[in-house]
Amino acid sequence: MDPMEIDDGIHTKWDLMKEGLITGDLQKRKSPYRCLSVGLGLLCAVLLLGNVAQLIYCKSSGALTTETEKFEARLSNLTTKKDQLQQNYNSLKEERDRLQMNNTDTRKNYDDLRREKDDLQTKFSTLTANRDELQRKYSSLTLDKDQLQLRLNNLTLDKNHLQTRYNSLWINNTALQTQFSDLQRENDQLKTNYSNLTTVKDQLQQELNSLKSPCREGGWKKFGTSCYYASSTKKNWWSSRTDCTSKGADLVIINSEEEKVFVSELVTPGANTWIGLTDDVTEGTWMWVDGTPATTTYWEDGQPNSMGGNQDCGEMVQRGEWNDDKCTVENIYICETSL
């Protein structure tokens, strides 16, 4: 093969590689380039030896000059080709070094990308675990929400049921309240009628009693169905009661406002007057002389105060109001007897 054809083939292949028509890993082709250079060197040596032999042959046949010229021309061409091959070799070597440098950068980038990938894988695994945990919590919260919704629905039903019962009870209560108000008015009316009838009855009874048996003489005065006597002398409470009983009466018992006014008018205004009221049996429990408890009372403000613990008898003071005092005090007194 002509060295020119070899050199053209190498140039053609190199141009194709530079244009991207032939691809390959130049890193893997370092050895073929070295072999190619060695082969080209050997080929040049063989051609040189062949030309030398041919030159010797031509000289021996008498055509030394012509062959020498041809040899020099071919040697010049080979030298030119050799220089071109050397340039191509240098270019390939520079390209190889550049690719090796790029490969080192690529390796570094690869390592960086691999580390970044590992970091991303770790983060992905962490995020996956977090996602699974969040999914578990979400499922748990969803279950809790469903349970709470069920409880809410049940409570809503109970509330509606209670509201219905409450509305029914409210209606019944309103009706009962209306009935109670009506009955209250009727009861008040009946009480008023009863009070009026009682007043009329008492008046009729008083008139009847006054017609049948008037009070005795000697200072006795009639009120209602009783006769009253106001003493002119003062005695202690027990002596006052003894004097009343000797007259067939007892110390006065006051059961109404009208009776209190009547009795207070029998004595000098402001004079302390014994009445038939005592808590001598049980301290603080005021009883009338007939043994009935005092339910209707007309005590002064702050009375009874049982000062000293021995004010066990009741007396009438100004405006007919009452006060508790020592039973040993001497006052005028009022006796009462029924007609």
CATH number at residue 219: 3.10.100.10
> Across the chain, where does the E strand assignment appear?
221-223, 226-230, 250-251, 273-278, 287-288, 313-316, 322-325, 332-338
Q: Please give the tally of structural domains in the chain.
A: 2
Q: What percent of the chain is predicted at pLDDT more than 70? A: 84
Domain presence at residue 303: yes
What are the pLDDT digits (tens) for 92-112? 988 888 888 877 777 888 888
- Evaluate if residue 62 carries a pLDDT over 90: no
The pLDDT of residue 318 is 82
pLDDT band at 232 (very low <50, low <70, confident <90, very high): very high
The pLDDT of residue 100 is 80
Domain hosting residue 221, numbered range: 215-338
Instruction: Give the position of tokens 């991207």.
Output: 20
Query: Of 66, 94, 126, at which residue does a domain stop?
Result: 126
Q: Are residues 219 and 330 in the same domain?
A: yes
Domain presence at residue 78: yes
The pLDDT of residue 3 is 46
Query: Of 110, 126, 142, at which residue does a domain stop?
Result: 126
Q: Are residues 219 and 331 in the same domain?
A: yes
Domain presence at residue 183: no
Domain presence at residue 222: yes
Domain presence at residue 197: no
Domain presence at residue 35: yes
Domain presence at residue 329: yes
- Evaluate if residue 216 carries a pLDDT over 50: yes
Averaged confidence pLDDT in the chain: 84
DSSP result, 258-319: HHHHHHHTTS-TT--EEEEEE-SSSTT--EETTS-B--S--BPTT----GGG---EEEE-GG
Instruction: Find residue 228's DSSP bridge partners.
Output: 221, 336
Instruction: Give the position of tokens 């808590």.
Output: 279
Q: Within 10 A of 191 (CB to CB), how many other CB atoms are there? A: 10
- Collapsing DSSP states into helix, strand and coil, what is residue 256? coil
Q: Are residues 221 and 334 in the same domain?
A: yes
d(CA 253, CA 235): 18
Helices (H) and strands (E) in the chain, counts: 5, 8
Q: pTM of the prediction? A: 0.40
Domain presence at residue 293: yes
Contact 11, 18 (CB under 8 A): no
Query: Of 126, 141, 168, at which residue does a domain stop?
Result: 126
